[in-house]
């Protein structure tokens, strides 16, 4: 009997680390990962899918362990040469990483879909889990700041996420369709997991693709989220700062509130034990455990808690 | 008083080596180099101008001394990664070299001309000579073979120039205009030099841009060509093989014949001394000297002979 899939909604580095642990606890071929593409960008004419790449490289064992993004041991000869010519170099592109971008861009130009290309790349790199973009359509996260509306990578990388964020929107999302298999996987999943990713820029873009939110609401009892906020701070990235600038308290419970009606189980760090009642008041079950993933041991331990609490069959 | 320019028509490696010597004999700022762009190609969506790059890298002192093309010490991490993904890797793209292609492609997309971009790249890399493409328009060398008509880089790199060549044509040439300054430079030049390049695929594409041949014919007395054929063989590339397959004898004199009415002085190797009469029968003066450029000494020596024979003021 074919096992039902375990679905994950994934952003970048935090998600990749969690999924790396999960794929060592659950058979990796059972994982169906829906990757955020709202932060995709065209840079130097190349189509870059940072979150898909981070998940791919991590599951392929190629990721740079310190940075989290990019390929371990990669060099930056191309970027240096480009900088010498006066080209823009704020977006870090490693030489080997560029191979991925050239491949993807070329295949898109040939008419392949992002879903097809992602399947090709993951297969070639030996990733046994299924990774699909949230949509094959173009969806672009735009950040509204005092400096005006910014493209996501301009906000995130070029300006180092220092602008106060007033709001976030997902250009193109209303017209987008979920990638093939996404709604089916959610419908038949044994469990659906929101990785510890930034809600505003990693999970919300996925939810903004018409049909996905509704599909999740129907499976709420089988949906769990892992908090990306620990002790009021984001482990990586601007999630806490964004919450403050959007007049929210940066806390695990506030992330849970963002997932009301979508999530049945909320997993947060032991540091946030005092917020259990606040989370349970939202109508979801709360579990505390160690969520800070220093290494493989912590990644697997966190995955085991989620698997146990969701009763995922092994 | 501003010195009149010394104009050169240039292909790739042979031209670059000759020009490197010339720029050490004549003040480099006097050189106005018209580069072949018939072998430009779009590879992985990048606009590649192999001859412009070879001349640029050589004059900038960055060229790989063995290969002649590409950047000294460059690595191939991107190409390796692309190959791992199943992408095509027959066109060698070094990581630093890729910086040039990304820069050029991006600037073209922004609306800059190839002339402007080439000026930017050469300035950034410290090249003091002026290098211009033969045209800003798209001209593409097509090679007619028994296997059908091939794109130039498919013939040259992918199939290693092994197909017998029936004919060569320059797609787009009839509608192209010479790049800005080209006709003026030819008209006012103190001398015009055909570098030791393949006539069919390096010099003929330049001559195919309407106006250039006529401008050269008017200056014939001030035009010199250096033979790329020595002792019946091409020093580099398929020139001799192409001559044979097009029913020509592979010889310096046969190259001279291709330049009838265009060239007043023909410079060939001492090995071809016996062909002096044949060349002079074509109505041009013939000079023999050492034309094989092993190193800088030979490059400069050849340049000095050309400068002396053409009476170029120093």
One DSSP character per residue, A153-194 reads: HIIIIITTT-SPEEEEEEETGGG--BPTTHHHHHHH-SEEEE
**Mean pLDDT of the residues in chain B:** 96
| pLDDT of B2 over the 80 cut | no
- SS3 category, B282: coil
Beta bridge partners of A33: A8, A131
pLDDT-derived band at B193, boundaries 50, 70, 90? very high
Residue A120 is predicted with a pLDDT of 98
Mean pLDDT of residues grouped by 10 in chain A (314 residues)?
A: 89 96 97 98 96 98 90 97 96 97 97 98 98 98 95 94 95 98 98 98 98 98 97 91 95 98 98 97 97 93 98 94
pLDDT-derived band at B228, boundaries 50, 70, 90? very high
Q: What is the mean pLDDT of residues B71-85?
A: 97
The residue extents of the domains of chain A are: 6-143+171-310
Does A72 lie at the interface with B, CB-CB under 8 angstroms?
no
Find, in chain B, the residue whose alpha carbon is nearest to that of A74: B77
CATH superfamily of B6-143+171-310: CofD-like domains (3.40.50.10680)
CA distance A158 to chain B (A): 18
Residues in B closer than 8 angstroms to A96, CB to CB, are: 77-78, 80-81
Mutate to test the interface with B, among A78, A84, A89, A91 (most CBs of B within 10 A): A78
Does B294 lie at the interface with A, CB-CB under 8 angstroms?
no
Residue A3 is predicted with a pLDDT of 85
CA distance B94 to chain A (A): 8
Distances (CA, A) of A62 to A41, A53, A272: 22, 10, 33
CA quadruple A243, A248, A254, A258: dihedral, nearest 10? -80
Q: What is the mean pLDDT of residues B100-120?
A: 97
CA distance A128 to chain B (A): 15
| pLDDT of B129 over the 60 cut | yes
Q: Check A81 against B100: CB less than 8 A apart.
A: yes
Residue A54 is predicted with a pLDDT of 97
Q: Which two tokens stand for residue B299?
A: 């490059």
Q: What is the mean pLDDT of residues B8-26?
A: 97
Does B53 lie at the interface with A, CB-CB under 8 angstroms?
no
CA distance B121 to chain A (A): 6
pLDDT-derived band at B205, boundaries 50, 70, 90? very high
Residue A67 is predicted with a pLDDT of 86
**Mean pLDDT of the residues in chain A:** 96
Taking one residue from A and the other from B, the number of pairs with CB-CB distance under 8 angstroms is 114
ipTM of the complex as predicted: 0.91
Q: Which two tokens stand for residue B298?
A: 């030979």
Do β-strands B148-151 and A229-230 pair in parallel, antiparallel, or remain unpaired? Answer: unpaired
pLDDT tens figures, B259-286: 999 999 999 999 999 999 999 999 999 9
Residue B7 is predicted with a pLDDT of 98
| pLDDT of B72 over the 90 cut | yes
Q: Is this structure's pTM higher than 0.95?
A: no
């Amino acid at each position: 009997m074919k096992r039902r899939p375990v679905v994950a909604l994934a952003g970048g580095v935090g998600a990749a680390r969690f999924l790396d642990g999960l794929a060592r606890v659950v058979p990796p071929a059972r994982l169906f990962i829906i990757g955020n593409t709202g932060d995709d960008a065209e840079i130097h004419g190349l189509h870059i899918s940072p979150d898909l790449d981070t998940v791919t490289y991590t599951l392929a064992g190629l990721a740079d362990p310190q940075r989290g993004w990019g390929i371990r041991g990669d060099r930056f000869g191309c970027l240096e040469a480009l900088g010498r010519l006066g080209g823009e170099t704020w977006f870090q592109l490693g030489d080997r990483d560029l191979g991925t971008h050239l491949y993807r861009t070329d295949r898109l130009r040939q008419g392949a879909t992002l879903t097809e290309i992602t399947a090709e790349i993951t297969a070639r790199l030996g990733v046994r889990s299924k990774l699909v973009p949230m949509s094959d359509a173009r969806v672009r996260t735009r950040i509204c700041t005092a400096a005006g509306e910014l493209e996501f990578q301009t906000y995130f990388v070029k300006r180092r996420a220092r602008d106060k964020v007033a709001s976030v929107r997902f250009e193109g999302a209303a017209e987008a369709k979920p990638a093939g298999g996404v709604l089916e996987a959610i419908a038949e999943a044994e469990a659906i997991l929101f990785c510890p990713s930034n809600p505003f820029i990693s999970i919300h873009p996925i939810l903004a693709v018409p049909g996905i939110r509704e599909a999740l609401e129907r499976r709420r009892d089988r949906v769990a989220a892992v908090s990306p906020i620990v002790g009021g701070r984001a482990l990586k990235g601007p999630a806490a700062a964004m919450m403050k600038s959007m007049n929210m308290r940066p806390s695990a419970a506030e992330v849970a509130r963002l997932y009301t009606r979508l999530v049945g189980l909320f997993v947060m760090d032991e540091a946030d034990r005092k917020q259990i009642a606040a989370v349970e008041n939202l109508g979801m079950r709360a579990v505390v455990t160690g969520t800070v993933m220093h290494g493989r041991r912590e990644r697997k331990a966190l995955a085991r808690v989620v698997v146990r609490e969701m009763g995922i069959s092994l």
